[in-house]
Chains A and B, each alone.
Chain A
Amino acid sequence: MSPSPIHPQQSCSCEGFTRAEMLRRGAAQAGRGLPAIEPGMPIPAGTGLSRRGFLLASAGLALSVYGAGRLLDPAAFEEGIARAAENPDQPILVSVYLQGGIDAMSVLYPAGDPLYTKYRPVLALPEDAGPVFSEDPRLHWHPQAAPLAQLHEEGKMSVLPAVGYTDPDQSHFTSRHYWEVGATQADLLTGWMGRYLDLAGSPDNPLQGLCLDEALQPALATARMPVAAIDTPSSYSFYAQGVWGPPQAIMYDYFDTLGRLGAGSGDPALEQSGKAALMSSTLRKQLLPFQPASGEKPALPSSYPSASDAFPTRMAGIAQLLGAGLPLRCVSISTESVFDTHDNQVASLGTGLGEAAQTLYAFQRDLEARGLADRVLTLVWSEFGRRPQENASGGTDHGAAGCGFVMGTRAAGRMIGEWPGLATGLDSLGNVVATSDFRGLYCSLLEQWLGHEAGPIVPGASGFARMQVVQ
């Protein structure tokens, strides 16, 4: 599908990152440029309170969380804390999607396979380019994946070198859909994590399934329980021109009034809009503590890479939300880098892989520093691997089995499945055959990590071999 840079020495994703950053900067500047206080306003102009501060002060709710100027809605916050506190050991699953079908044969490249350079005359990496994968010395880590190798050495990273499913589909949409719904069924409308939340979640906590993105990711799609999407935790504020004081506070209450009108209308589109209003309203209250005072920028722990896209900031935001005790259970996030490397793979893969690996590493360290590491397991996946035979554009086309990872201090830390080898491990179309099934992985995560039987969540669960994912 995607972006095929045909400009020499240029990766399309670089352009993308630049643009996305420009957009975010534009939004931030416009936000600052909007007036905080209307002329003629009698109180509390000139008192130095931020707009956000004024809003809450007007409702009698001025409380500081992180320092002066940051204010919260104690009712919503206390509720969230209380819910999490009821179950302090509640496990959290973070799903990280590497967009576009990452080339597993570059992430863990089979330098020790005699056929490697035959299939990859242009793309093959030298044997000594990256660290050896200690569980199978035929494989080496891509140099940009070194942070993952480090976590693996520490026993915090389970590697699936060839994960997939039988009868692989090479369409991005179809294969990604399968992974998201947890079955090779085209017609499933709920995500696999969404179905878990439908059975184990609560009806009044949209943060239990939180997607750090502009839109909800399908893996979290539920049938009954609320879930939420948010771009970044610090950006969720509503603004209306020329409104303040009680008329503003009451305006926020009417989000719920209008939302209920839509949600109860019986028309699917009105319901969709009404539910979005209700969830937005709930989320606004829950995230009030994270609104930076005007002019302030939330600090990013220094260990995260300073990338030009939102992925590191969003991952840091997850740790921040968890650190604040908010009741997150399943979290879904995608890289902004697209790994659909049909062309010019050397340039386009390295940057994105490096950023992803450094971010995952920083996230793990962040959780460890916050004392949360034993509660969080991170699943890393992509819709497929790429074809071993490189194409003539310096890239690779869609393949079958790809790589996956389970990261965390509680991860088993041992290889799941194996690298099948290029001599005998390819199917009739020349694609890598899976040595582990993602549905078995989901069943194992549900049973061993989330403590829920897989049967009602993963169709045909009893037919998939379980793997040890938690130590």
Chain B
Amino acid sequence: MARTRARGPARRRPSSYHGALPVYSGPFKAEQAERLLWRAGFGPRPGQAEQLAKHGMSGAVRSLTRPASRALAGPPPRLQNGEPLAPYDVWGNDVLWWLDRMVRTSAPLIERMTLTWHDWFATSNEGVDSQRLMIAQNQTQRSLCLGSFPSMLTAMTIDPAMLVWLSGAGSTKEAPNENYAREMQELFTLGAGNGYNEIDVREHARALTGWTNRWNQATGQVEDFHFDPVLHDNGVKVIYGHRGRFGWRDSLRLVLSNPDHPKHFVTKLWSYFSEEPLSRKDTRSAEAIYVSSGKRILPVVEAMLMHPLVHAGPRMVKPPIVQIAGMLRGIGRYIDTDAWVWESTLAGQTPFYPPNVGGWEAERWLNTGTWLARFNLAAQMIGQQRVAKLAAGATTNKEPETVDPKALAKQAIAFWGGPTLSKASRGALASYAKAAAVDSATASWEREQYPTLALNALRALVVATPDYQTC
């Protein structure tokens, strides 16, 4: 979702790390808890923000970073025909399998961090062509999501889906493939052009040779991913000025100890939680937390989530899949259709199908195409079951019972679980309600029916507000 592309200034070798990140000390009410749940999860269920606010800011953050339970709550996912999912085998069911976790999880940050790592080590089934391998990678990312980054990098380097995606499998001493070596430095650990050059790319590629797999003609599956020393280049390499007969573990060790790595790590991680970059000082402090913890993810995430900019800084556009999961949570709906697969694509983010190895580009979440998709999402969410219907015979309507514009707007907001909207947005919705339900209705049947139509339109317009699309 975010990418660090800035070319760093002069190389800097930190001699010592110290300091801590500032901690938010302003009010922590339902509104702040709601934002935290969107940034560190997939939005609140009705009433959840009020509950979370009772813990206070740091208690709320810790309840997310150290969840008491990872259980999935609510009915298991099914397709529109009532069938259960077949995540490994049926197209799109992999996406639904994960979306279901986002909707039902008791540990939203775990799923959100899994999404972060999916974006960070962006692997697409477009190139892997195995939902089984993609889900296996996803499970690995979930299990390591708040653990140590070196463990994560190690697991990703030899992850079968990654080995397929970035050509690690089949890269041999005769012909080392530079694909993984390049992206490992450019996107995963250092940032473009930071602390490495083209020669380092080639030398890392040599060190990483030796991974291979077999293709099972009977099943049509790739399998048996393993390291074959015969295919490994055992020669001397020079990486960042170090000489040695480096292997793949050395390659990871060297890139993780590259002095440009901590800054890239904290800068990139922070970009998932805030639009506004960390100050130089805070970046140094975050690096200190990262390095002194032994390159663990949890303490850095925990400190970042308590930072004032997360709670009181500028807003962020909700990633499309986060908004989809959050809408479902808000209206208490569970996975009961595969419509969300293509809806997510139209909105610009289909899990397991990032556009390329750089992941999704957050600055492109909203444009005329994805804005259209977000609007039309509301219709799909509401569906036939939830739409406010005109009473048969057009006598009186069940819904709404009021024609008061402000009350109509309030009802439409409550439909989505009561998201916080600005006063200006609430005013605009009420002014729509007046124009559509009252002013434009002259005939008696219009006065009876337009409030229902207006309530339906208001629900769609809530989703169209800039407040709802951001958090």
Contact = CB atoms under 8 A, between A and B. Distances in A.
Given A242-B388, A251-B436, A268-B314, A215 B5 contact: no
Contacts of A56: none
Interface in A212-255: 213-216, 228-231, 236, 238-248, 250-251, 254-255
A3 B357 CA distance: 9
Contacts of B379: 34, 239-241
Interface of B: 3, 5-7, 91, 124, 126-129, 164-167, 169-172, 174-175, 177-179, 182-183, 186, 192-193, 198, 201, 213, 215, 220, 222, 275, 314-317, 339, 341-342, 345-346, 348, 353, 356-358, 361, 364-372, 375-376, 378-380, 382-384, 387-392, 394, 422, 424-425, 428, 431-432, 435-437, 440-441, 445, 449-450, 452-454, 456-457, 459-461, 464-467, 469-470
24 contacts: A2-B166, A3-B128, A19-B353, A23-B341, A39-B389, A40-B394, A42-B445, A169-B193, A172-B358, A214-B369, A229-B369, A231-B369, A239-B376, A242-B387, A243-B460, A246-B441, A247-B440, A247-B453, A248-B453, A250-B457, A254-B461, A269-B317, A342-B167, A391-B177
B170 A6 contact: yes
- Of all A-B residue pairs in the complex, the 8 with the closest CB atoms, nearest first, are A3-B127, A392-B175, A262-B466, A273-B466, A247-B436, A242-B456, A240-B460, A247-B453
A251 B5 contact: no
B465 to A, nearest CB: 5
Contact of A254 (B357, B361, B369, B432): B432
Nearest to A174: B192
Given A19-B126, A172-B356, A251-B432, A4 B425 contact: no
Contacts of B345: 23, 214
A1 B470 contact: no
A270 B467 contact: yes
A246 B440 contact: yes
A258 interface: yes
Contacts of A393: 167, 170-171, 175, 177
A230 B390 contact: no
Nearest to B357: A1
B314 A269 contact: yes
A22 interface: yes
Contact of A214 (B166, B348, B353): B348
A361 B357 CA distance: 31
B56 to A, nearest CB: 26
Contacts of B183: 1
A276 B314 contact: no
A369 interface: no
A69 to B, nearest CB: 21
Contacts of B469: 273
B370 A269 contact: no
B358 A173 contact: yes
B392 A39 contact: yes
A144 B471 CA distance: 49
B317 to A, nearest CB: 5
Interface of A: 1-8, 10, 12, 15-16, 19, 22-23, 26-27, 30, 34-35, 38-42, 169-174, 177, 186-187, 206, 213-216, 228-231, 236, 238-248, 250-251, 254-255, 257-259, 261-262, 265, 267-274, 276-277, 279-280, 283, 342-343, 391-393, 397-398, 429
A39 B166 CA distance: 54
Nearest to B389: A242
A43 to B, nearest CB: 10
A19 B457 contact: no
Contacts of B432: 250-251, 254, 257
Nearest to B383: A241
A176 B420 CA distance: 40
Give the interface centre of B167, B314, B460 by most chain A CB atoms within 10 Å: B167
Given A206-B368, A215-B369, A258-B464, A19 B342 contact: no
B82 to A, nearest CB: 18
Given A171-B192, A258-B461, A6 B376 contact: no
